[in-house]
Chain A
Amino acid sequence: MEFAELIKTPRVDGVVLRRPFLPTVEGTLCLTGHHLILSSRQDNTEELWLLHANIDAIEKRFVGSLGTIIVKCKDLRVIQLDIPGMEECLNIASSIEVLSTLDSVSLMYPLFYRPMFQVIEDGWKSFLPEDAFKDLESMTEEWRLSDVNKDYSVCSSYPPLVAVPKDVDDDTLRKAAAFRHGGRFPVLSYYHKKNGMVMMRSGQPLTGTNGRRCKEDEKLINATLRAGKRGYIIDTRTVSVAQQAKARGGGFESEANYPQWRRIHKAIERSSILQESLIKLVEACNDQSHSMDRWLSKLEASNWQTHVKEILTSACLAAQCIDREGASVLVHGTEGTDSTLQVTSLAQIILDPACRTIQGFQALVEREWLQAGHPFQQRCSQSAYSNSKPRCEAPVFLLFLDCVWQILRQFPCSFQFSQHFLVLLFEHTYASQFGTFMGNSASERSKLNLSQKTVSLWSWVNRPQEVERLSNPLYEANCLVIWPSVAPQSLLLWEGVFLRWKRSSRCLDEAYDEMVHIIQYNKELQNKVNNLRRQLAQLETEEPLLQTP
């Protein structure tokens, strides 16, 4: 299939573009295979380059022969195009509709994108499991890197290399995998250097209604416990949901078979409910009514903040078990690819200062989301505006980012990155020129050979200019565990994402710039003082007369 076949009208003149906070632009609209472009062909006016992949939904309206297309983007922005001529408008609209919903992976933009910047460090090679394991090896000898999944045959959503207890052989892993949902046998997620406790994650055990057990699975997770110690299993489902899972072959670890483990059930909602929540939240934020009651009741009805609180609380609990109780933890829900990853990754943000750096956060996303098999493509193919029936879409990762933002708000000096980084990740998970978030697992990415055919987002992010843009000027490394408050009064609506297009951020940006200026000026002054003192010390040694009282 050629893109040209899909583009009925490639060019229309006299189109008027209206966007939030920017002046109206009149110009020529062009459709390419991947972009919607509007250019006034004048200097100094910004052009619009919109990825079709970023378009979530469109609406058409006609007044006489003037057509209007409302374009609703996955980054939650809404723009309006006034197109003269009904036929042109209809053609453009239907082309956008088709181009923005192409299912074929081989037509996706990252495969066509050629970077306009110099790749200094190939992001595809920045965070290899082997390197991460070297760090672990420097702390403990109790773990090994297993290549039992090297051809993705044991678990299709796991990477080829996973960290497992040293004393457990690959055969045991294979058997344990057969006992876990999606073959996701328990693997190491995090090693807490301070006390040697660990966090593992997996899929649910397939106990079924008759309480099947698997000695190898038991052996595998018991191998992570110190003698006489107990561990916690955090099941991200409520007891009743976990019970119901038995009927479908799933289940949970029974006390009888896992006597050294205590199970705690938390209630993190599943994907379809989260998607619905996002849709309601965005609708509430876009409501033009000036009624306070209406806003608050819509915000409440969206349940978004409730999800944020639930996820954060579960992550805090996992961190509490590890750090305060000195116990190891296994986290799972049903598949182990959504709520499980929210909990394990956030617990690491809380516990591990390294995850709060720009590089460390990328490594965390790479390790706990991309390698761990979060199905990004399925989850992020539609955002809050789409009219089509949701399939597997869910803002699981966006909720994780929101939770990180909440912690960042509470510890504004403990993160090397600013919220810009979180917003950038949100944007790129939904539409991107980079291959990083394509596919649903390491195995899919490897089949598509993305590391060869596309550019990694990390290659872009780790350039010095971008690192600087994403940096938090207030950052001071904080080696401590950071416990966030999860009280509803402490949780805020993430304006940087949800109200971003409602109100110009100019005031806030300028205030932010002023703050950056104060901090930079402080550094300059300190350097100057140090230099002067050095010079002075030199002068004093040259002038011994001064030393006499």
Chain B
Amino acid sequence: VLHLVTTVEQVRLLERFSNKSTSGTLHLTATHLIFVESNNAATTILHHHIASVEKLSLTTSGCPLVIQCRNFRVVHFVVQRERDCHDIYSSLLRLLRPVSYDELYAFSYNPKQNEQQREEGWQLIDLGAEFERMGVPCDRWQLTDVNRDYKICETYPRDLYVPITASKPIIVGSSKFRSKGRFPVLTYFYQEKKAAVCRCSQPLSGFSARCLEDESMLQAISKANHNSRFVYVMDTRPKLNAMANRAAGKGYENEDNYSNIRFQFVGIENIHVMRTSLQKLLEVVGSRFLSVNDYLLGLESCGWLRHVKAVVDAAIFLTKAVTVEGASVLVHCSDGWDRTAQVCSLGALLMDPYYRTIKGFMVLIEKDWISFGHKFADRCDQLDGDPKEVSPVFTQFLECVWQLTEQFPQAFEFSEWLLLQIHEHVHSCQYGNFLANNQRLREELQLGDRTHSLWAFLLREQQNYLNPAYCPTYADAHPVLEPSTLPCHFKFWRNMYHQFDRSMHPRQSVLKNVLTLKESNCQLEDTIKDLETVSTCIKSNQILFKHGISPPTPDPQASPRAQRILPTDTERTVEGSSGTERKESYSDLQETYGAKAEPAVVSLEFGVARMTC
């Protein structure tokens, strides 16, 4: 039910990268902001997507209101009367600051589904089955029930996998020596070499403290792998940060105390650096009339691609250690829920083709991000919280995946549409999956009973997310991906950070076109079958006549390039968005052409109106 909060007429929506604008009416409901243009075209923004609202100083044409969204949409309204603008502004501020989870959209979102479908949606992904797929439990790894009641670690899931030789006292002792009790547990098992990827938080070692149980824990992990005499311990932080943590009684493993480890820093920066970096990137690419040099200098100085590369580099290190050396690896950072999640999940994606399928990718996110307690609520600012806790760690992970899909166009079952859609809903709070910070809280909120699962929604329309170039047999020849780490192979992800800026994108999309053709191929195959049946029937028409069957009419939908239905719940305009002409002007002609006003208005067929997709 949409409760209208307020409506303001004669509002102008300015185009972000041109001088054009459209006018219409702005409506605020309890959950959405809706701008309806005079031609009835609507722009809809979920309140949860709004990151900030800014009221700029009054101009002659009205009062500007700039809204920045977490999905990188930026809208610039000009409201004629200042009072109306203030009304919208203050209503938005009120609506944008939910203080309890119950206020989130997921609890009111009702997609007209029956209860059974909703419940089934939550059962689609089963992490127990996932560990079984990896070959766990086995003779070296077992399921432990120490955290059944979230007593040992409240940010971990209930079910945890540990080496068989790790006794309960060892686990308990180790957890007491680790930040937030996040002791080393299994997250991925590389069956071919029986090598394990484990994760944890930093040890509370300070300058000299040690813990025999923790040392035994690492010993147990090492012993569980006969291929290697040692375990790699990857501290994903820069060395300086890790050293600074020692002063606070935390820190990193001392190689002298852990006889069986090889310790390695990999230097991924912390959440604050990442937040600032992305902010700077968005500032750079958001500026109008950007020159190529400022763009490239901005890309360099914001450091975003450097950070993305650092994460990929770390995942490659992990993958090599496991798949080439057959060694087990323990990954941690400070708390073990940001950088650790990035590196573990990305590493698994490189090692295991299953995670490169649509379903497998969901399982991967469910395992390394949701169940192991990546703090989605804090990082994505779901409730009115500490702005210093907000950070695009998960976005950065999605970008790393995108960079890999660009390098290996045949290896992934999904296209970037899936990544964009997941990103959209991590912030929309429309589905229950990403709400709250950990599994314990999610259970308290009874999300499984009160909300819908995103995975079910995505799987239902998975044909939209397919990569037409995907080759399932590619994995036979390339089970492990070996990406290039040359900087020139890392690109700016325009389709993410400009996903609402139509003018930036190619007007025709190879992806959409080929996907449409592929679908059309399936339909044509069906049509051929039907037609062949009919003609066989006609040939033996007596039978046909006796039963009074009329021949099936050919499916009109089977025409090639049938209109695709792409994800519809957003107005994202990544590639191949047709319709209106490119509105930018390549030069201010009026400047040179004296008194002439704006360049003459253009006929409708500019750009590529006749797009086939």
Give Cα A90–Cα B354 distance, bound, in whole angstroms.
55
Report whether A522 and B524 are in contact in the complex, using a CB–CB cutoff of 8 Å.
yes
Report whether B586 and A526 are in contact in the complex, using a CB–CB cutoff of 8 Å.
no
Contacting residues, chain B, for A540 (C-beta < 8 A) = 538, 551
- By the criterion of a CB under 8 Å from any partner CB, how many residues of chain A are at the interface? 83
Kindly identify which residue among B505, B524, B599 contacts A490, using a CB–CB cutoff of 8 Å. Answer: B505
User: Quick one: which of B274-300 are within 8 Å of A by CB?
Assistant: 285, 290-297, 299-300
Give Cα A479–Cα B606 distance, bound, in whole angstroms.
10
Give Cα A503–Cα B602 distance, bound, in whole angstroms.
44
Contacting residues, chain B, for A288 (C-beta < 8 A) = 486
A354 to chain B, nearest CB (A): 17
Report whether A508 and B409 are in contact in the complex, using a CB–CB cutoff of 8 Å.
yes
Report whether B599 and A320 are in contact in the complex, using a CB–CB cutoff of 8 Å.
yes
User: In the complex where A522-B524, A525-B525 touch, is A483 in contact with B587 (Cβ < 8 A)?
Assistant: no
B527 within 8 A of A: yes
B585 within 8 A of A: yes
A-contact 0/1 string along B535-548, CB 8 Å cutoff: 10011010011000
Give Cα A492–Cα B490 distance, bound, in whole angstroms.
12
Of chain A, the residue at the smallest CB distance from B605 is A480
Q: Is the interface of A mostly helix, strand, loop or mixed?
A: helix
Report whether B606 and A528 are in contact in the complex, using a CB–CB cutoff of 8 Å.
no
Kindly identify which residue among A266, A317, A482 contacts B507, using a CB–CB cutoff of 8 Å. Answer: A482
Contacting residues, chain B, for A263 (C-beta < 8 A) = 592
B15 to chain A, nearest CB (A): 13
User: Quick one: which of B450-502 are within 8 Å of A by CB?
Assistant: 468-469, 471, 484-492, 494, 498
User: In the complex where A487-B503, A488-B291, A525-B524 touch, is A480 in contact with B608 (Cβ < 8 A)?
Assistant: yes
User: Quick one: which of A516-535 are within 8 Å of B by CB?
Assistant: 518-519, 521-522, 525-526, 528-529, 532-533, 535
**Binding stretch for chain B, among A13-21, A299-307, A375-383, A397-405:** A299-307
A85 within 8 A of B: no
Of chain A, the residue at the smallest CB distance from B469 is A511
B403 to chain A, nearest CB (A): 12
Give Cα A508–Cα B17 distance, bound, in whole angstroms.
33
User: In the complex where A316-B586, A413-B513, A514-B469 touch, is A536 in contact with B488 (Cβ < 8 A)?
Assistant: no
B-contact 0/1 string along A479-510, CB 8 Å cutoff: 11111111111111100000100110001101
B582 within 8 A of A: yes
A241 within 8 A of B: no
Contacting residues, chain B, for A483 (C-beta < 8 A) = 581-582, 606-607
Report whether A480 and B609 are in contact in the complex, using a CB–CB cutoff of 8 Å.
yes
Of chain A, the residue at the smallest CB distance from B596 is A325
User: In the complex where A324-B599, A410-B506, A522-B524 touch, is A306 in contact with B531 (Cβ < 8 A)?
Assistant: no
A118 within 8 A of B: no
Report whether A528 and B538 are in contact in the complex, using a CB–CB cutoff of 8 Å.
no
Give Cα A294–Cα B303 distance, bound, in whole angstroms.
11
Give Cα A381–Cα B517 distance, bound, in whole angstroms.
45
B521 within 8 A of A: yes
Give Cα A341–Cα B38 distance, bound, in whole angstroms.
44
Report whether A306 and B292 are in contact in the complex, using a CB–CB cutoff of 8 Å.
yes
B193 within 8 A of A: no
A539 to chain B, nearest CB (A): 5
In the complex, which of the residues B471, B514, B560 has the most CB atoms of chain A within 10 Å of its own CB atom? B514
User: Quick one: which of B152-173 are within 8 Å of A by CB?
Assistant: none
Report whether A295 and B471 are in contact in the complex, using a CB–CB cutoff of 8 Å.
no
Contacting residues, chain A, for B587 (C-beta < 8 A) = 264, 266, 313, 317, 320
Contacting residues, chain B, for A507 (C-beta < 8 A) = 407-410
Report whether A536 and B535 are in contact in the complex, using a CB–CB cutoff of 8 Å.
yes
Report whether A526 and B560 are in contact in the complex, using a CB–CB cutoff of 8 Å.
yes
Contacting residues, chain B, for A515 (C-beta < 8 A) = 468-469, 510, 514
In the complex, which of the residues A303, A485, A499 has the most CB atoms of chain B within 10 Å of its own CB atom? A485
Report whether B605 and A535 are in contact in the complex, using a CB–CB cutoff of 8 Å.
no
Contacting residues, chain A, for B266 (C-beta < 8 A) = none
User: In the complex where A488-B295, A521-B521, A529-B524 touch, is A480 in contact with B610 (Cβ < 8 A)?
Assistant: yes
Give Cα A284–Cα B285 distance, bound, in whole angstroms.
23
B362 within 8 A of A: no
Contacting residues, chain A, for B409 (C-beta < 8 A) = 507-508, 511
B-contact 0/1 string along A280-313, CB 8 Å cutoff: 0000110011111111110110010110110001
Report whether A262 and B592 are in contact in the complex, using a CB–CB cutoff of 8 Å.
yes
Report whether A539 and B606 are in contact in the complex, using a CB–CB cutoff of 8 Å.
no
Report whether A474 and B513 are in contact in the complex, using a CB–CB cutoff of 8 Å.
yes
A414 within 8 A of B: yes
Give Cα A510–Cα B299 distance, bound, in whole angstroms.
31
User: In the complex where A510-B410, A514-B410, A515-B468 touch, is A529 in contact with B541 (Cβ < 8 A)?
Assistant: no
A239 to chain B, nearest CB (A): 11
Report whether B517 and A518 are in contact in the complex, using a CB–CB cutoff of 8 Å.
yes
User: In the complex where A325-B599, A478-B610, A518-B468 touch, is A299 in contact with B505 (Cβ < 8 A)?
Assistant: no
A409 within 8 A of B: yes
Kindly identify which residue among B309, B471, B531, B592 contacts A292, using a CB–CB cutoff of 8 Å. Answer: B309
Report whether B306 and A412 are in contact in the complex, using a CB–CB cutoff of 8 Å.
no
Kindly identify which residue among A305, A482, A518 contacts B292, using a CB–CB cutoff of 8 Å. Answer: A305
Give Cα A165–Cα B503 distance, bound, in whole angstroms.
38
Report whether A320 and B292 are in contact in the complex, using a CB–CB cutoff of 8 Å.
no
User: In the complex where A410-B507, A518-B521, A525-B525 touch, is A295 in contact with B487 (Cβ < 8 A)?
Assistant: yes
Report whether B612 and A409 are in contact in the complex, using a CB–CB cutoff of 8 Å.
no
User: In the complex where A303-B293, A326-B600, A540-B538 touch, is A510 in contact with B471 (Cβ < 8 A)?
Assistant: yes
Contacting residues, chain A, for B291 (C-beta < 8 A) = 306, 309, 488
Of chain A, the residue at the smallest CB distance from B532 is A532
B87 within 8 A of A: no
User: In the complex where A413-B513, A507-B410, A533-B531 touch, is A526 in contact with B507 (Cβ < 8 A)?
Assistant: no
- List A residues at the B interface (Cβ < 8 Å): 230, 262-264, 266, 284-285, 288-297, 299-300, 303, 305-306, 308-309, 313, 316-317, 320-321, 324-326, 409-414, 474, 476, 478-493, 499, 502-503, 507-508, 510-511, 514-515, 518-519, 521-522, 525-526, 528-529, 532-533, 535-536, 539-540, 543, 545-546, 549
Q: List 18 A-B contacts (CB under 8 A).
A: A288-B486, A290-B487, A296-B487, A299-B296, A305-B292, A306-B291, A317-B587, A478-B610, A480-B610, A481-B606, A482-B507, A489-B494, A490-B505, A510-B410, A521-B521, A522-B524, A532-B535, A540-B551
5 extra interface residue pairs, beta carbon distance < 8 Å, beyond A266-B587, A491-B292: A305-B292, A411-B508, A514-B410, A532-B535, A546-B544
Name the 7 nearest CB pairs between A and B, nearest first.
Answer: A488-B295, A295-B487, A300-B296, A511-B409, A296-B300, A525-B524, A292-B306
